[in-house]
């Protein structure tokens, strides 16, 4: 708005009145939007985006509105008419065809001809004289300047019909109204603010992640694993039904202050150190740990994964060992103590002597930021399109917003997973800034009330528009208390919850073997793989590999489970059982899930109530449910169905809902 304080009172008053007159049309309560349009809404490319808004003006004139959109770097707008729903609420849809960044806006104006048509009908039907209204219609049509002969001919025909019949009804024809709309000068034309949107590929919304340490994949105990060993495991991981193979850092590991087993301050001569202490004389973030292999081996790993329907996700940790080449090449990128030593990473009372953090707000930050971006692009050129970012909440927000935008400008298919177990508002801010997916508090939500409240938060507005949860059941850092007893039913229950509540979920390798030994009194693994090489028999007795494979198969066969936002909790009359229904984006698949949260045999009533499924124009109540494992079909009676779960066999029941 003009700064009127510096103008004379008379001029300021005139300008203020002029500006106010130009704002006759209001846009309010625009959906979807994140923080009023400061941050982008997230959607999947190729799917419709529904946009709603309150659009109104003073008086009784009829409005027209369109929904406009374009790619953020395209100067040309596309548009589609919006429809009035009820009570000044308008609706329109558009479809971003390919992944990328878009903007959308609403445009509205006074529709003079539609206003005339409405007023004419009202007066005619009331038996009033409409002669003047007919003259007004003639003037409106005569003032139009059609460029094509077909439109000009339609208008001439309407005027001729009026001259012949003297009836204003000839101006109510819809083909005439369409012609007039194309020529309408659109008085009071107004634009809303612009709203950003990110359209992403389907993997952004749904995927099953399998995390492993490459150095632990050797079939020979005591031998450091190689990328060839990882390649040998790819068919097995794919057979379990996973979509993403997530590798912890694969870069050279520093020797200075290297940690020993169980995070000991002093490493033994054969201790491999933490892969998160990145960098040595062998290179930094764009190098491979020498014992893993060569860059050509990595290319072969990417190709093997692609052949088996898997994608590689790499860990990106913005941290260095004291041996990282950058400390010598760019000492200005780090913080140095008054005594001349570099400042080590800390999370009081924890101290990480084997890690130093670059100063992302140093004087030479432009070069540092570019170097980190180039690391991502280096691995992207080798075929990596998914990056899990370690501890992003400890780095500046502006850096992530810039980095993600820079990388996705090169390839909008790149996915970023935020590993931020921190305060809720920080986690949500990172999602707003561009992270595709986010770690969550699922790991610590165990009761029915906790899970229900948390999922209602994540699937509510506006969180569902920008925060995509990824439910990891465990991580190398977190051995949750509820898994530490090693009970198979609990492992099954937790992976079933993760795989069905969220469309993105993950396990850290060893989970399928029921690994659970903790450091006493702590949510950490004893003999943590972060500090030593593990050797495992991946088929040892007691594993739940088949159970996980079955869950992943059911996910792929039921698109309702491959989305998170459309989730409705069911009334279940047993506090030890949680129940919910999910429906696919296309409304062609609905799944009901019941999962036990305590051991034993549980009888309960799963109540559907008034819940309806199916396409928007043909919603209907659920009449039958079909067990996705056994194929048994049960009718819905009195609004629900009585079920039994025995955790000794399976703590979860999954049903297809049928009309």
Tens digits of residue pLDDT in 199-232: 999 999 999 999 999 999 999 999 999 999 999 9
DSSP letter, residue 283: B
Average pLDDT over residues 505-533: 97
**73 carries an active-site annotation:** no
Q: Show the DSSP H helices in 208-356 as ranges.
A: 227-239, 295-307, 325-329
Query: For residue 147, what pLDDT is reported?
Result: 83
Q: Is 29 a catalytic residue?
A: no
What are the pLDDT digits (tens) for 5-52?
343 444 444 445 445 555 799 999 999 999 999 999 999 999 999 999
Whole-number pLDDT of residue 10: 46
- Quick one: how far is CA 292 from the chain centroid? 33
State pLDDT tens for residues 387-407. 999 999 999 999 999 999 999
- Asked, as a colleague might, if the bond just before 414 is cis with ω within 30 of 0, I would say no
Q: Mean pLDDT over residues 192-201, rounded?
A: 98
Q: What is the pTM of this model?
A: 0.93
pLDDT in tens, 301-318: 999 999 999 999 999 999
Distance, CA of 408 to CA of 105 (rounded, Å): 23
Q: What is the DSSP letter of 413?
A: T
Beta bridge partners of 627: 655
User: Could you report the per-residue pLDDT of 327-366, keeping only the tens digit for each?
Assistant: 999 999 999 999 989 988 887 777 789 999 999 999 999 9
Neighbours of 401 (CB within 10 A): 17
CA atoms within 13 A on the CB side of 194: 9
Return phi, psi of residue 68, to 5°. Answer: -115, 145
- The tokens describing 621, both together, are 């109540």
pLDDT of residue 236: 98
Q: Taking residues 612-619, what's their average pLDDT?
A: 94
Q: What is the pLDDT of residue 19?
A: 52
Q: How many CB atoms lie within 10 A of CB 584?
A: 17
| Integer Cα distance of 527 and 287 in angstroms | 27
The residue behind tokens 């208390």 is 481
Q: Which of 184, 243, 419, 515 is catalytic?
A: 419
Angle between helices 131-142 and 112-125 (to 10 degrees): 160
CA angle 279, 280, 286 (to 5 degrees): 45
Whether the predicted pLDDT of 545 surpasses 70: yes
pLDDT exceeds cutoff 60 at 566 = yes
Average of pLDDT values for 180-191?
89
Determine contact, residues 624/636, Cβ cutoff 8 Å: yes
Distance CA 126, CA 133 (A): 14
Which residues fall within 8 angstroms of residue 146, CB to CB, at 6 or more apart? 152, 155, 179, 183
The pLDDT tens digits for 442-484 are 999 999 999 999 999 999 999 999 999 999 999 999 999 999 9
What is the band of 657 on the pLDDT scale with cuts at 50, 70, 90? very high
Q: How far apart are the C-alpha atoms of 217 and 535, rounded to whole Å?
A: 7
Could you tell me the CA-to-CA distances from 495 to 2, 350, 550, 639 in Å, in that order?
58, 31, 11, 29
DSSP per residue, 193-222: --EEEEEE-GGGT-EEEEEE-GGG--SSTT
Q: What is the pLDDT of residue 22?
A: 58
Q: What is the pLDDT of residue 293?
A: 98
pLDDT at 20: 53
Q: Which of 323, 390, 529, 583 is catalytic?
A: 390
pLDDT at residue 9, rounded to an integer? 44
């Amino acid at each position: 708005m003009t700064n009127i304080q510096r103008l004379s009172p008379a001029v300021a008053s005139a300008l203020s009145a002029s500006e106010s007159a130009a704002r006759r049309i209001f846009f309010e309560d625009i959906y979807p939007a994140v923080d009023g349009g400061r941050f982008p809404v997230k959607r999947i490319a190729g799917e419709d985006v529904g946009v709603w808004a309150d659009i109104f003006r003073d008086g009784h004139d009829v409005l027209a509105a369109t929904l406009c959109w374009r790619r953020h770097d395209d100067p040309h707008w596309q548009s589609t008419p919006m429809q009035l729903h009820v009570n000044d609420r308008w609706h329109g849809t558009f479809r971003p065809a390919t992944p990328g960044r878009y903007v959308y806006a609403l445009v509205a104006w006074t529709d003079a001809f539609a206003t005339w048509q409405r007023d004419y009908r009202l007066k005619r039907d009331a038996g009033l004289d409409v002669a003047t209204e007919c003259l007004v219609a003639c003037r409106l049509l005569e003032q139009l300047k059609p460029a094509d002969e077909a439109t000009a001919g339609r208008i001439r025909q309407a005027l001729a019909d009026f001259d012949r019949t003297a009836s204003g009804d000839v101006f109510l024809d819809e083909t005439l109204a369409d012609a007039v709309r194309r020529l309408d000068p659109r008085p009071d034309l107004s634009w809303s603010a612009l709203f950003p949107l990110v359209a992403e590929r389907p993997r952004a919304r749904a995927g099953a992640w399998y995390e492993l340490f490459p150095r632990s994949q050797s079939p020979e105990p005591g031998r450091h694993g190689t990328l060839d060993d990882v390649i040998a495991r790819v068919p097995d991981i794919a057979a379990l039904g996973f979509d993403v193979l997530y590798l912890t850092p694969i870069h050279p590991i520093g020797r200075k202050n290297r940690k020993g087993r169980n995070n000991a301050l002093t490493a033994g001569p054969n201790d491999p150190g933490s892969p998160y202490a990145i960098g040595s004389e062998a290179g930094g973030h764009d190098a491979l740990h020498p014992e893993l292999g060569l860059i050509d081996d990595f290319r072969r790993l990417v190709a093997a994964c692609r052949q088996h329907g898997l994608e590689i996700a790499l860990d990106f940790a913005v941290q260095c060992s004291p041996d990282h080449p950058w400390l010598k090449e760019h000492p200005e990128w780090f913080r140095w103590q008054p005594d001349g030593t570099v400042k080590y990473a800390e999370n009081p009372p924890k101290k990480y002597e084997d890690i130093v953090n670059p100063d992302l707000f140093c004087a030479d930050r432009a070069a540092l930021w570019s170097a980190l971006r180039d690391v991502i692009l280096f691995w992207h050129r080798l075929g990596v399109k998914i990056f899990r970012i370690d501890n992003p909440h400890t780095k500046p927000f502006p850096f992530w917003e810039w980095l993600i935008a820079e990388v996705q400008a090169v390839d909008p298919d790149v996915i970023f997973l935020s590993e931020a177990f921190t305060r809720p508002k920080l986690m949500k801010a990172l999602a707003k800034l561009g992270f595709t997916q986010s770690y969550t508090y699922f790991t610590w939500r165990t009761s029915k009330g906790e899970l229900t409240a948390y999922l209602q938060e994540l699937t509510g507005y506006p969180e569902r528009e920008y925060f995509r949860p990824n439910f990891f059941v465990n991580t190398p850092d977190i051995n949750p208390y509820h898994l530490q007893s090693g009970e198979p039913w609990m492992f099954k229950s937790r992976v079933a919850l993760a795989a069905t509540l969220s469309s993105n979920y993950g396990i850290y390798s060893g989970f399928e073997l029921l690994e659970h030994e903790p450091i006493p009194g702590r949510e950490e693994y004893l003999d943590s793989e972060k500090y030593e090489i593990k050797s495992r028999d991946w088929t040892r007795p007691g594993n739940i590999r088949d159970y996980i494979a079955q869950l992943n198969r059911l996910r792929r066969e039921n698109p309702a489970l491959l989305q998170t936002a459309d989730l409705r909790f069911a009334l279940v009359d047993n506090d030890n059982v949680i129940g919910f229904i999910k429906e696919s984006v296309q409304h062609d698949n609905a799944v009901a899930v019941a999962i036990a949260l305590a051991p034993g045999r549980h009888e309960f009533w799963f109540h559907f109530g008034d819940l309806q499924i199916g396409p928007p124009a043909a919603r209907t109540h659920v009449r039958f449910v079909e067990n996705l494992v056994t194929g048994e079909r049960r009718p819905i009676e009195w609004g629900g169905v009585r079920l039994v779960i025995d955790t000794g066999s399976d703590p979860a029941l999954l049903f297809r809902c049928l009309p």
